[in-house]
A and B are shown apart, each in its own frame.
Chain A
Amino acid sequence: MSKSITMQDVDIYYGAFKAVEGVSLKVQANSVTAFIGPSGCGKSTVLRTINRMHEVIPGAYVDGSVLLDHENIYGSGVDPVNVRRTIGMVFQRPNPFPTMSIAENVLAGVRLAGQRMSKSDADDVVEGSLRGANLWEEVKDRLAKPGSGLSGGQQQRLCIARAIAVKPQVLLMDEPCSALDPISTLAIEDLIRDLVEQYTIIIVTHNMQQAGRVSDTTGFFNLAGVGQPGHLIEMGSTSEIFSHPKEQATEDYISGRFG
């Protein structure tokens, strides 16, 4: 069900500005990979290239190839809409659709993509996705209420439910806990460990303890200076990166000497 991601010599641009240079990496299926690094080093940018969200920004483009298993998602004739259905995304700030109820939010991906489904199928998707996001017990009695009435942590889990309702194979998370309190963060982290059985997960985080807690593999990004492109400095198993990093920059960063 879930698939691997391979990036081959990817350069990422915002107009004339090269934001990220020469990223090559491999993310195994059914694993959690964390991207860490100082602000502005391009880790979120790299994440957004993996489901072709980067090009939504005017003037932004990508050079290189990103393989989903063996298929290049930047190949000619690939429809970004289909890529995004296969590779879902959860954002930094919870962003449920304000005009929709909880149930409608979960179904948004399915319904807005134009699929018709029967009432009972829809109910199954809502329950299954909310259970998958560990939110079902908390909201099952108020599915018709607006999603914006939930707490921040619940809203973020609603967004995760919305993302997994379209049955993606890869789930990208862009600092999903940075707007949440420690208890909600713990709930999301537990959820990530559950979800990895079905999905390949890539998470961007500023919190190194979080990277240590949830991820199997960690990639460290850094940039040489302001206005310079970001690079992937090193990538390896999380325990190795945190105990014996090969690069001096990685060691400096994780031991808190800069960044």
Chain B
Amino acid sequence: MTTTVDTSTRTPSSLTGGTLPRWAPALVGTVAVVSAVALNRVTGLAGGFATTIVAALIFVVLQSVWSFAVEGKRHAVDRLATTVVYSTFFIAVVPLISVLFTVLAKGLKVMSWGFLVNSMRNVSPRSPGGGAGHAIVGTLEQVALAAAFAIPVGILAAIFLVEYGRGRLARAISFFVDVMTGVPSIVAGLFIFTAFVLGLGMERSGFAAALALAILMLPVIIRTTEEMLRIVPNELREASYALGVPKWRTVLKVVLPTSLAGIVTGAMLAVARVAGETAPLLLTTFLTQSYNNNPFAGPQAALPTFIWDQITSGTSASVDRAWAGALVLITLIMIFYIVAKLLANRFAPKG
């Protein structure tokens, strides 16, 4: 006796249903684009942007109707939702790609080794040449100083909040961290300007700028570190206590290493955030056209203020320099970020 199933006479199963062919989205897409372009040609009414919208609408309607007819309601809704998710993703990415592309295209025009090492000393806004070397040095020094203040203080504050803080003091600190997150950057600059430059009679310097940037970094670092410490399982702390390890060593040797990857990423995001700040720098260090390698004395240039300065000069040579400066700034932040990711991977718990 054979048990082969005779497929020709098999009754339709309740598990199978109609399905659109795999090439259906491609076909619908082609039809939508072609008909939208045709509509545009025939009526001559709308531009490229409107044509894109029309094509998208035709695609959505056509696909939904076809899918509903063949596959039923659930599949039609599924396809509609998929289309919405993909299109919102593209809408979100377009500005990002566009910014990167514009900066790259315009910034590369005057990009050269000379641009990276020369300053704007004795270069008039009208004439080409000059560079952002002084601004690169300024940004690196200011951000490094700000990080040197904010990273240790921020991490220690987060450790206090998560591991030690109880009651009113912790709640008050937590509240003020939230408030600080919302402080506009120019207010941080104004505070340092009032307290240190006017109040203590300090001269404007990269150091003052670094203090303002540190204020902006602190809440970001505290919040991310706090989140990272909170996701360390309590079981690990208990395992450590149960071995007779004191609390401070548990925090130092078990909790911090376990969450180090996230803390490093958070710190680098904070660095990236402040590296592009302009307003606080104008108040605290202003700007200069020459190299000033000493962050503790006198005005110092920085990339954001360099870009601002060149753009406001308004000549074609200076606008080109502003774009090149923007390219340097974005590249710098990207390098920070890549280094942070590599470090984070290195420290991440294995296994």
Contacts and interface: CB of A to CB of B under 8 A. Distances in A.
Size category of the binding interface on chain B: 20 to 34
B93 to A, nearest CB: 34
Contacts of A145: 351
B166 interface: yes
A1 interface: no
Contacts, number: 87
Interface in A64-100: 81-86, 88-89, 91, 93, 95, 97-99
Contacts of A184: none
B90 to A, nearest CB: 38
Contacts of A159: 239
Interface in B237-263: 237-246, 249-250, 253-254, 257-258, 260
A117 interface: no
A245 interface: no
Nearest to A51: B242
A84 B258 contact: no
B233 interface: yes
Contacts of A147: 351
Interface in B320-351: 349-351
A95 B239 contact: yes
Contact of B241 (A56, A146, A149): A56
Contact of A112 (B235, B250, B260): B250
Nearest to A168: B244
A147 B351 CA distance: 8
A100 B236 CA distance: 12
Given A97-B258, A99-B349, A148-B349, A56 B245 contact: no
Contacts of A98: 236, 258, 349-351
Interface residues of A, number: 33
B174 to A, nearest CB: 16
B243 A56 contact: no
A40 B207 CA distance: 59
Interface in B250-278: 250, 253-254, 257-258, 260
Contact of A113 (B233, B249, B258): B249
A22 interface: no
A169 to B, nearest CB: 12
Contacts of A58: 166
A112 B254 contact: yes
Given A58-B166, A91-B239, A97-B236, A109 B351 contact: no
Given A91-B238, A97-B258, A114-B249, A108 B243 contact: yes
A177 B240 CA distance: 20
Nearest to A172: B242
B244 A113 contact: yes
B253 to A, nearest CB: 5
A144 to B, nearest CB: 11
Given A58-B166, A112-B249, A112-B250, A88 B243 contact: yes
Contact of B351 (A56, A108, A146): A146
A85 B235 contact: no
A93 B235 CA distance: 8
A87 to B, nearest CB: 9
A85 B244 CA distance: 4
B45 to A, nearest CB: 62
Contact of B246 (A81, A95, A146, A148): A81
Given A112-B250, A112-B254, A148-B351, A97 B239 contact: yes
Interface in B196-245: 233, 235-245
Interface of B: 166, 233, 235-246, 249-250, 253-254, 257-258, 260, 349-351
Give the 7 A-B residue pairs with the shortest CB-CB distance, closest first.
A85-B244, A146-B351, A109-B243, A148-B351, A98-B349, A89-B242, A84-B244
27 contacts: A56-B241, A58-B166, A81-B245, A81-B246, A84-B244, A85-B243, A89-B242, A95-B235, A95-B239, A97-B240, A99-B258, A99-B260, A99-B349, A108-B245, A109-B245, A112-B249, A113-B246, A113-B249, A145-B351, A146-B349, A146-B350, A146-B351, A148-B349, A149-B351, A162-B239, A162-B243, A166-B244
